[in-house]
Structure 1
Amino acid sequence: MLWTLGSVAGLSLAGSCFVLLDLIQLVLTGTVSDRDGNSDWTAFTERLVAVALGALFAVSATSWRRRTEGTCPRCGREHAPDMARVAYPAPSAAPQRVRRFAYAGCLAFLPYLGLHGLHAAGLTHWYDKLYSDQGILPGPRLFVFALLALVLVGPAVFLLLGLVRPWGMRFPRWCMGLAGRRVPRFLPLVPAWIVAPTLALYGTCSMVYAPMAGYTLIGLGGAASLAFGVYGWALTAAAVSYQRRSLPVCVPGDPPSRR
């Protein structure tokens, strides 16, 4: 039963790999279209349903495992029944290999941003041929570059670094009003698991599909595929590490005070 629930959840989430790109296009343009520019609301609805089904089956698989294996519903571990209090681990960094993978995921955006920057500055005429791929963000060149750098890539890098550094588990001093408080686990994990499958599958499939279809990977499309693929897999590894490092544990409760 557990393998069935997990398999259905994985297939549903894999089938929804383009839903994030659809949501970005919907916010920026007010519509959803296919590669030919035609309205594609039916496919968008199907992808949203796939996301909902994947999340539902993933939660069901986790709940089923904990009930059948006799683990604690609060921390997911096996322990004596006298454990009465949930404790959270101290902030820690991810293992070195995970951190290096995360840094590679951040650096993978440099070619993509570099091509957008050169195009926005109009520094080269030969670059127009490399920029022939149609971007998903309409608008003036400088506006598109600023939007990519500050609104999309900036938060993406911040999220990835937060998952592998200690300040992602406890708010640092520069977070006024929140400094020293524990970061809720869902705060970085929810956006990470929403973004990671989409970008990992989209970037990887694009790099595999392009040569088979006769397209070149040199240019904006190739840089985007590289950035999304590497970042998506790096975000997946960082999210798994963060989920394990931040997992709460049940400890014996304090004895009741007597008056």
Structure 2
Amino acid sequence: MLKDIFPVKLIFRPTDTFTEIARGRTGWAWPLGIYAAAAIASAALLAAAPPEFLAKAAGGLPPPAGGFTVYLLTGLPGGLAFAFFSCALLSGFASVLRSGRLMFRVPLPAAAAAVYAFFFVARYNAGAAGPAGWAAAACALGLAAWAALREPRAYLRLVKAFLSLSMFAAAASAAGAGALLAGTPDAYPAAEYFFSFLSVAWLVKAAMALTGLSAARAFAAAVPALLGAAAFAFSLLALGLVGPEVFHLLLLM
């Protein structure tokens, strides 16, 4: 029946869907298929939109160079890397927040992400990350790997849930296509903000189901995990491992 199709269940019964993922009853086909479809939709929108539309819709970011194939081949691995790193951070932050008084534990993940981000913003503005930047990035990567490998089965199930949330990115691309056809570029970022909010809300539900955290603790783990992954991506830019054009493209996708 229609209501039992994975994307429909994900929208209308997210808790049940994430519980099934947590119990190992969901394979990789739907999460990867949804992620690939979202990447294709985003790449197609970027390729079809004129530079003027993208400049207005992206808040001044320069339109990416290339075409559909370049966008897709860049966005697919970039998005996967972001998903795997975000879930590693989420897994690690969840272990920190699983016990203890919430008021003392909540600031820790957010503070870690903020310190890392501000460190590389300062380094980027200075024009060189230096040995300290490489050490900080290596430390972040090592901690993420440790968090993922502590419970690899639970971590991979978290990745499945995260990739499934690409459905909201696909919906944002569909809204962007509508804005393009209507000639209203300002509507595109509004749609992106709306679907991003839904994506975060569903990620919190996923964290609750897969880690056993309460809503407050899941939120305190999920949001810093996303911010930390974004900060790590920026650190790769500051270190020169990712070029500005690639970084801007990943932001748009």
For the superposition of Structure 1 and Structure 2, which TM-score range results when normalised by the shorter chain? 0.3 to 0.5
Greater fraction of residues in helix = 2
* TM-score w.r.t. length of structure 2: 0.32
User: Which structure has the higher relative contact order (CA within 8 Å, separation 6+)?
Assistant: 2
